[in-house]
Every structure is written in C-alpha cells, then in structure tokens.
Amino acid sequence: MFGNYLIGLREGLEASLVVCILVAYLVKSGNKDKLGPLWLGVGLAVALSLGFGAVLQFGSSTLTFQAQELLGGSLSIVSVGLVTWMVFWMKRTARHMKTELHGRLDAALAMGTGALVLTAFLAVGREGLETSLFIWTAVQATGDGVRPLVGAALGLLTAVVLGWLFYRGALSINLSRFFTWTGAMLVVVAAGVLAYGFHDLQEGDFLPGLHTLAFDVSSAVPADSWYGTLLKGVFNFQPDPTVLQSAAWALYVVPVMALFLAPPRRPAPATTVGIT
C-alpha cells in the first residue's frame, strides 16, 4: 500500500504542479477565459489514463496463463524503464519546470484553443499513462487488488490537495529535494517490480531458472506474516527469489541508485517553488 501511495503521490504531484502552473499563468496573464480549454485537456488526459488502466486490467483477464505471464512480465519491465526515465528527467528539470511550461503555454495561446487543449492533454496525459502502467504492474506484483489501489488513490488525493495549496500560495516546497528523496524510494520500488517481471517470464516458460533459488528465508519471513506482507507491499520482497530475480534486482538498483544520487557536475542552487 505504501509503495503505491508513493507512486500516486509522486506522479500525481507532478501532474498537479503542471496544472497549477498552467492555471496560475493563464489567470495572471489575463487569459482567465481560456481556463475552459485547459480543463478540457486535463479531463481528457484523466479519462485516457483511466481507460488505459481498465484495458490493462480487463484485457489481460481474457488471456491464457502463459500469455498473462508474458504480458505482465513484459509490461513490468517497460514500466520500470519509464519510471527510471521519469525520475531522472524530473531531477534534471525540476529547477526550470515553470519557465518551460510558460513557454509552451505562450506558444499554445498564439496557436488557438485547440493547441491549448492539446498542451494540457499532453502535459498531464504522460504522467497519467505512466501512473496507470506502473500501478497496474505493482498490483500484479503484490497479488492484492484492493490495498495497492487504495494506496494509489490516497497518494493521488494527497497530490491534489498539495496542488491546491500550492496554487493558493499556502505551501512552498523544495522540488529538487522532494523529487530526489521520492525518486530514490521509487528506484527501490521499481527494482522489486523488475524482479517480479522476470519471475513472471520464468513462470510463463519464457526464461529459464524458475526452480533455481538464490536463497529461501520463508521460515524466517513467512509471506503471510504482517512483516512479510509489509515487505512485499513496499519493496515487492519475495522470501524465495530465483537467481535471475536477485541478479536483475541487484544489477538494476545498484548502478541506477548510484547514478541518481550522484551530485550534478555543475551544482546549482536548489529552487523552492510556491505558486501564487
């Protein structure tokens, strides 16, 4: 539940910040009458994200077991790639997000209503599709369709509240620091999803080594215990992983975490952002 809360919070906060910046700029620049097309684009992006999640959930249920394992494993790996790109992109662009969005909005206003709808749709839609895919793969990894969804929903709700507070000027946040801490936690969560994806491909007989275990601590950390459930929910921990799973986890988390936490070549002062 916590892992999916973190996913919903981080992805939702990105989308909330984008919307708040766009709304604030339209209001301050005397284009309040253009808020309708902006919200239309946001609504279309949300609808697309929900539809994508529904297609993943209900479409996969009609497949054979082997096809489900292939789909689940492949999408897990794809979602990890997207999330990895996202955390590095946000770390790099957090300092100048507002300037970049203002430039895009100026261009959209000059082109007309359709361009404004498209700008809002693309800005929010990317976050929404990534969120739907990563939450779906995380739900498959935990094997619990309720608590992960509740966690993600609470994270998104928190992000909406924070976005409103940003817009009202009641809250400011050091974006660079926030995205660094949450990004590091997401790297660990993504490593667990990646390991689960490889296990899916092994169960579907697409990769070998299903019965070659790296270790087995099931007696010390039972999967049905409260702490076993906690570890699985947060980190996708499995007490009896295969050698391939363990190798995939280690080969991902060690270099990615090192690169992510490495200081920038040209240090720049951290920016605290509040939207007024």
Confidence bin at 267 (pLDDT 50/70/90): low
What is the reported pTM?
A: 0.67
- pLDDT at residue number 250: 94
Tell me the two tokens of residue 184.
């590091």
User: What CA–CA distance (Å, rounded) separates 65 from 203?
Assistant: 9
Sorting pLDDT into bands at 50, 70 and 90, what band is 3? low
pLDDT of residue 249: 93
- What does DSSP assign to residue 192? H
Confidence of residue 212 (pLDDT cuts 50, 70, 90): very high
pLDDT number for residue 175: 64
For residue 276, being part of any structural domain is answered with: no
Of the candidates 127, 149, 133, the one whose C-alpha atom is nearest the C-alpha of residue 197 is: 133
User: How high is the pLDDT of residue 170?
Assistant: 57
Task: Tell me the mean pLDDT in the region 202-211.
Answer: 91
| Confidence check: pLDDT of 81 > 90 | no
Percent of the chain past pLDDT 70, that is, above it, reads 81
Q: What is the pLDDT of residue 58?
A: 78
Q: What is the pLDDT of residue 192?
A: 85
Helix (H) or strand (E) holding 61: none
Asked if residue 8 has pLDDT above 50, the reply is yes
Q: Which residue has the higher pLDDT, 160 or 14?
A: 160
Q: What is the pLDDT, as a whole number, of residue 80?
A: 87
Q: How confident is the model at residue 276 (pLDDT cuts 50, 70, 90)?
A: very low
State the Cα–Cα distance between residues 71 and 78, nearest whole angstrom.
Answer: 10
- Quick one: pLDDT band at residue 202, thresholds 50, 70, 90? very high
Contacts 24+ apart (CB under 8 A), 177-181: 177/270, 178/13, 179/10, 179/87, 179/90, 179/91, 179/94, 180/91, 180/260, 180/261
How many structural domains does the chain have? 1
Kindly report, residue by residue over 213-244, the tens digit of the pLDDT. Answer: 999 998 888 877 767 766 776 667 788 999 99
Per-residue pLDDT, 230? 65
Lowest average pLDDT, out of 16-20, 69-73, 223-227, 243-247, goes to 223-227
Range of the domain at 96: 2-264+267-271
